[in-house]
């Protein structure tokens, strides 16, 4: 599997065929999160810096840090006219990259991601509790966050083999710093103050750009981030948006509905002539 130098480290990625899709995972995932979607569509799936098989430089793992390394990865591969597919923080990074590189983006498909700064009334109670818990703690003693994501954040817990693959990048406390950093950066009630303007900037782009966009929604799980209220916000504030209900799934929906996600992306991409 390919690895490329980026800044002072390296980034690993998985590739399948020559399709223009770039799949960006969330927390605490990796390219492994796309293992059942990528083969259906083709494209590239990087491991964000500090995650998966990518390097773990001595950085804070802020949103800005991730964006810098991701910029370097896109440039190292000379990627242009891509169709971004983002989940969780990967969706936020996709929006941010697209807003800063609009001529290099052909389309964006996303689900269960950070579409706007949020307040308490917009997050489901379980999500509010998770945000507060992880903001208040700095424990890195175990892999409880990762285990919970792929047992409680899905409708069907992953297999032991796949759980082992999700756990492998985080064998000790130092290796888990990116996971905790992501958890503590959820844009909630005006914090982190340095991240809110960046989200507002990509929201402005989302509201004006005629680049085709696809929001995939899900149901029947208390772990879902984008519920009816945020779905309505997206429909009102994101230009050139298609919205499709994909079915029942947890927050890590590509574990529960990989073939359905791939099928909806393929149909949307064909409607908008995004693939040859």
For this structure, is 166 an active site residue?
no
Q: How many CB atoms lie within 10 A of CB 61?
A: 22
For this structure, is 251 an active site residue?
yes
Identified catalytic residue from 47, 112, 255, 256: 112
Identified catalytic residue from 47, 88, 96, 260: 88
Specify whether the CB–CB gap between 45 and 37 falls below 8 A: no
For this structure, is 272 an active site residue?
no
Query: Which residues, 6+ apart, have CB-to-CB distance to 95 below 8 Å?
Result: 86, 108, 110, 113, 115, 202, 203, 205, 206
What does the alpha-carbon distance between residue 169 and residue 157 come to, in Å, rounded to a whole number? 19
Q: What are the Cα distances from residue 116, in Å, to 3, 76, 143, 202? A: 32, 29, 28, 9
Identified catalytic residue from 251, 252, 256, 264: 251
Place of tokens 């990967």: 90
What does the alpha-carbon distance between residue 41 and residue 200 come to, in Å, rounded to a whole number? 31
Specify whether the CB–CB gap between 104 and 82 falls below 8 A: yes
Angle at 132 between CA 127 and CA 134, to 5 degrees: 95
Q: Which residues are catalytic?
A: 88, 112, 251
């Amino acid at each position: 599997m390919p690895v490329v130098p980026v800044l002072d480290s390296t980034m690993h990625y998985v590739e399948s065929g020559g399709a223009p899709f770039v799949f960006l995972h969330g927390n605490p995932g990796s390219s492994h999160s796309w293992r059942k979607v990528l083969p259906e569509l083709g494209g590239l799936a990087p491991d964000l810096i500090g995650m998966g098989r990518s390097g773990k430089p001595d950085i804070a793992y802020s949103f800005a840090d991730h964006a810098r390394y991701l910029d370097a990865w896109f440039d190292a591969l000379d990627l242009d006219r891509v169709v971004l597919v983002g989940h969780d923080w990967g969706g936020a990074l996709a929006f941010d990259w697209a807003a800063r590189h609009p001529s290099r983006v052909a389309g964006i498909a996303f689900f269960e991601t950070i579409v706007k700064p949020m307040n308490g009334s917009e997050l489901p109670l379980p999500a509010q509790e998770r945000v507060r818990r992880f903001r208040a703690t700095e424990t890195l003693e175990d892999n409880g966050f990762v285990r919970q994501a792929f047992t409680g954040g899905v409708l069907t817990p992953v297999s032991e083999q796949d759980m082992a693959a999700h756990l492998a990048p985080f064998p000790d406390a130092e290796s888990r710093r990116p996971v905790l950093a992501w958890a503590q950066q959820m844009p909630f009630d005006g914090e982190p103050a340095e991240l809110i303007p960046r989200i507002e900037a990509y929201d402005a782009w989302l509201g004006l750009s005629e680049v085709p966009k696809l929001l995939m929604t899900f149901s029947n799980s208390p772990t879902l981030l984008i519920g009816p209220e945020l779905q309505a916000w997206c429909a009102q504030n994101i230009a050139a948006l298609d919205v499709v209900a994909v079915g029942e799934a947890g927050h890590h929906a590509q574990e529960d509905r990989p073939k359905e996600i791939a099928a909806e992306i393929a149909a949307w991409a064909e409607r908008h002539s995004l693939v040859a």
